Structure 1
Amino acid sequence: MADAVEVTVGIDIGTTSVKAVAVDTHGRVPRRVRLTHPVVAPTPSVFEHDAATVWRDRVVAACDAVSDGFSVVGIGLAAMVPSLAAVDGDGVPITAGILYGDQRGHHPDGEFVGFLRWLEQAEPHAAGYWPAQAVAGAALCGEAAIDGVTALCCLPVFDSGGWDARWCDPAKLPRPALDHTPVGHRSGAPVAAGTVDAMAEQIVAGADEPGDVLVICGTTLITWAVGEGWPAAEGLWTIPHLRPGLAAVGGPSNAGGLFLERVRALTGDPAAEPAHPERVPLWVPYIRGERTPRHDPDLRAALVGLHVGHGPEEVLAAAYEASGFVVRHHLDVAGVSPQRLVAVGGGVHVHRWMQALADTVNVPVDVAAVPEGAARGAAWLARVSAGRESTDLADAGRWALVGRRVEPRPEWSDACDRRYPQWRAACDAAAEPVQSKEER
């Protein structure tokens, strides 16, 4: 083992797979593992994981698979938010893991409170109520801990002083690890506290200048437009950037892989593209409601303008365009004029998605060379926890790596410019409340 390559391991618990990477000191990935899993969604209002399998068993399996044969100097993990499951005294989930957007999170004080209240009623004698990061951490090193970023996603149950006992017994919630000290060890390697996938993605993406727009192309589509000061817009979120004086405005949408995979399945995923840029219908992409900027869980998808001349290739092209239009809508709401998009996440493998982003927003798209961005970001945080890097997370920009640039196609961008107002009108119409017979 003395001559083995030194790596840090990063793990990302995603909606449809657990990704793990072994990353060397230069940010290269000599080994990767992807273990797929189902998401349980029998109705649009239910969204959950088999938490015991996904958050524990597959995390451990993925970690061990990428670690074998390397000298592992640190382990980090990331996962989506919010999520929550009830656990027993050994930290094993005894309920399903409830995921973002599930109706049980519909609560005036936020999704985390909604999940917590539901689980307390379902399993009042549970030993704890833990998000995916904590369950995975306990499985890896015996310590259920979350970092400060994940804890802040649990507001108002978490505040600057820790867990607020007015909401829940703090002993039933994971330990907030608010610095970069390792929370435990696995086979001698320090383990960092679990963090948020989007934050881990951000630190290694390289979207670090005003005018850059980070687009995370995963099951969830997330848009973050980088700007100076503290840009804000109604319906969108604003988060700090890693660099002083900058922040990012935007938020998540359901018009990512969750929507596109369904349309690909329905159309048979044709290889051909439409013969003409004008012959494309419109998708209202809200397959299970929408997050930002509409914040309406009851919205549903619709295909608008379909005629007898359209085939599967036009219907699929419209889906990719709708995803790009959602990014454009976020930028319009934010009042942002983008200079480039930086695309990261598993969707970077899909060239037609990347091309649609370029065409609909009409700016170049720099596509990440490594799709497992959240796992790489978790690996960087593991290096920080292990004392191999400074605590200035802006240093992680040296791991940013663009694989290719996708330029907009003028004829398609012109057609998208004409379709975009029609798409906005179709989405606005879908969001209007249905009138009662008396009102009509």
Structure 2
Amino acid sequence: MGHPVGDASETVLCCDMGGSSLRVGLVDRRGDVVATAACALTLTVDSHGQSEVDPNLWWQAFQDLVASLAADNPDLLRTVAGVSICGMTRTQVLVDEEGSAVRPAITWRDSRAGIEAADLAAAHDGESIDAFHPVARLAWIERHEPEIFAKARFVVDPKDYLAVKLTGRAASDKISLARLLAVTGGEGALSRFCSLLPQLVEPSAMIDHVGAGLPQPLDALAGCPVFMASNDTWTAVLGLGALRPGMAYNIVGTSEVLGLVSSRPAVAQGLMSVDWGLGFHQTGGPSQNGADVIPWLSRACGVDRQDMAVSFSGLLAGERHPQPVLFLPFLQGERVPYWDPDLRGAFLGLATGHGPTDLAWAVLEGAAFSARFVLERAEAAAGEPAKEIRFGGGGARSEAWCQVRADVMRRPVVVGACDEPGLLGCAAVAWTGLGDYASLAEAQETIARPSRRFEPRPDRVDDYDALYAVYKDAVPAAAPIAHRLATMRTAKGLAVPASSS
């Protein structure tokens, strides 16, 4: 790019694709974010549990955001020494030999493949296969769209699709495709899907260089090395400084993900155990729900979308009723630790004295109870408690959310100086790949800088312990009712016309 190695003005172009937004940023070698741009993404789920997105929308959004950076400062792209992309995983993009998508991507919210999951689980004695499993979704396409399935050459993650468009090369990493790798090896019935796996490289490895002939302003990046990174969780954990044994991480975006990092594998019921490389293993996994419960509740309370964040803070500032409300946060089913698409949310203990403030606090607390349940199971499997919880994502921007997590989970919660841990993790990968750091561990020490620390408050933890005990009883008690409701459909004619009242 015309800059000597070690030029202080150099940056890396980082991209973090989450469920609700796509963010790009230019980050220097010390982890300072020079410029950012972001746009909203939408993942919808229809009445049949299907959630699809045209991956070319992601590619166009990426181009638009890079163009936005260039428009603000035309010289910025000349500082780019490398590119690194992370993104949501458990979202399948099928591409042909040329790297073009052969159908819309099936997102992590999709639960259509229940029948295929049951069939595959019966034939596979090993990792649990459910409707959210990538191999179940591939089997669904194979069964229902055989002509499209025959056109597919590779299955990749969203981040890999952007890298394909930049470089022309399909590749991924073992961390992102861990669930698919776990069931397609060997000579069993599922090995037929193994041929769809692209080349797998390490997160800090270079995939290839940005190709020539891309549209403006991406043509200015031609020749730049593109580095793999990994899924958004792994990369954000690196950006939070939590990729080290004994650390827990909790990232709250559209969905929530939590886990414990250890130096040896640990197996816990309902949790994912993944080799994260570098001698690290994680025990935990993704929820199906997260910070999107806040806009849901805000809309339900009649809050205008433009003022949602401010208005939700206003709800929290109101007076609470002394009798608590308990919230089960399963608005879209649940993944860890239940892997049950038919779980449903509920408010329990409602009385006439309760109002929007009680519901708002119950939402924050219910999500924290769910996270505590996962962490306790991970700690029991690993045989050691977490030293602290590194907290990131949109939830980390709220002091109320951070403090509730510390109080409920009885662990210190630490927030980074930068509220874009995904971009920082991408930067650590790129600068390590470029040779500025000898290892990802060294890059993490410099780039991931903690800022705020929230300690559990002694006057709150006992009350939360008591409410958490109720939560643990409530989930299995409410599950059968949720399952019955999830399969019911009410005829439109049951609604009483206003004129008849």
What's the CA shift string for 1:236-289, capped at 9, x where partnerless? 223346664x54322221241233332233233441435347443011111111
Identity, % of aligned pairs?
Answer: 25
Shift of 1:88: 5.4
On the 8 A contact 2:17/2:86 being kept in 1, the answer is: yes
On the 8 A contact 1:12/1:20 being kept in 2, the answer is: yes
Residue identity matched to 1:286: F
Q: How many angstroms apart in 2 are the aligned matches of 1:394 and 1:241?
A: 17
**290, 308, 317: which one pairs with 2:352?**
308
**272, 276, 286: which one pairs with 1:252?**
286
Determine whether 1:237 maps to 2:272. yes
Residue identity matched to 2:242: A
Give matches, 1:33-432, under 5 Å.
33-43=37-47, 45-54=49-58, 56-66=59-69, 68-70=74-76, 71-87=79-95, 90-106=98-114, 107=117, 108=120, 110=129, 111-120=133-142, 121-122=144-145, 123-128=148-153, 129-156=155-182, 159=185, 166-168=191-193, 170=195, 173-178=197-202, 180-185=205-210, 186-193=221-228, 195-207=230-242, 211-227=246-262, 229-240=264-275, 244=279, 247-267=281-301, 268=303, 269-270=311-312, 271-273=314-316, 274-276=318-320, 278-334=322-378, 335=380, 337-393=385-441, 395-432=443-480
On the 8 A contact 2:334/2:340 being kept in 1, the answer is: yes
What's the CA shift string for 1:311-344, capped at 9, x where partnerless? 1111011000011111111122233544422101
Which of the two has higher C-alpha Rg? 2
- Unaligned ranges ≥5, structure 2: 122-128, 211-220, 304-310, 485-501
Residue identity matched to 1:181: M
What is the Cα-based RMSD across aligned positions, in Å? 3.0
- Unaligned ranges ≥5, structure 1: none
Select the structure that is richer in helix: 2
Return the TM-score normalized by structure 1: 0.87
Larger CA deviation: 257-266 vs 71-80: 257-266
**16, 34, 37: which one pairs with 1:12?**
16
On the 8 A contact 1:347/1:371 being kept in 2, the answer is: no
Structure 2 SS opposite 1:143: coil
On the 8 A contact 1:133/1:145 being kept in 2, the answer is: no
On the 8 A contact 1:277/1:412 being kept in 2, the answer is: no
Q: How many angstroms apart in 1 are the aligned matches of 2:226 and 2:483?
A: 55
How many aligned positions are there?
A: 431
Cα 1:242–1:368 shift into 2, 3 Å: farther
Q: How many angstroms apart in 1 are the aligned matches of 2:39 and 2:47?
A: 24
Cα 1:167–1:59 shift into 2, 3 Å: farther
Larger CA deviation: 213-222 vs 427-436: 427-436
Shift of 1:234: 1.8
On the 8 A contact 1:360/1:417 being kept in 2, the answer is: yes
The equivalent of 2:306 in structure 1 is none
